[in-house]
Structure 1
Amino acid sequence: MPLFLVTYVHPDPQGWKTHLGPHLEWIAAQVESGALRASGPTFTGENRTAALLFNTADRAELDSIIATDPYMEHGQVSGLTVAEWDPIFGMLNAESTQPGKSAEHVIREVLVAFGPDPESEN
């Protein structure tokens, strides 16, 4: 199943505070269900922001889950971003398109597929 990186911006400090409890309960439920792998605040400026890492069958399932977040239901999210992510390097490699391959092996494959054409350097 694909992994999705999701970011939230919370522009309304009072609204953020008002809906924090239900949002945290929602977070816990998503972790328990296995859909949410990790979540937490990000530190990007004066607005409260957060990043969430979801593991869902597809974007449609992700969108339906996000829609149930109390922050979404109460208009407390702006600047929502969603990106499908392929963690080929590091501790989540087993969930990538290159499971079990060493970093060296992945590097060789990527350079063969996308590296500079040696003949174009002349």
Structure 2
Amino acid sequence: MAVSTLRQDGWPQTTIVGYANEGLTLYFLIFRSSQKLANIRNDRRVSFAIGGDASDLRHATAVYAAAHAVEITDAKERAHGWEVLVSRHPNLEDFNLPDRSRAAMIKAECKHMSVVDYRKGLGT
């Protein structure tokens, strides 16, 4: 998933992160030293783009969302976010939730969403 945050100078910054969702709530981990975390602390508004590269344009699908993101600090809620991530990414099963001093668990609640589904016709 591509996540865009706003830098302090107002310019957008987009990076790729692994994520998992529970309904319209998305979870992802970022290093505490990352620019993304600094950006989210400065302005909670983020945007996401989730999609793949369809071999045929008529099969392209994507989701675009705007959300408010916050760092999860509650230990139980962090553990829940990790469980959601592991359920979507089984390759994480052999790992433990990274220590809070190294990585921030982010929860983003979607506020606005658009879906592109060209299987229903181009431009829809």
TM-score bracket for this pair, using the shorter chain length: 0.3 to 0.5
Structure whose residues are more often strand by fraction: 2
Task: Report the TM-score, using the length of structure 1 for normalisation.
Answer: 0.33
Which one has the bigger helix percentage?
Answer: 1
Report the structure number with the largest CA radius of gyration.
1
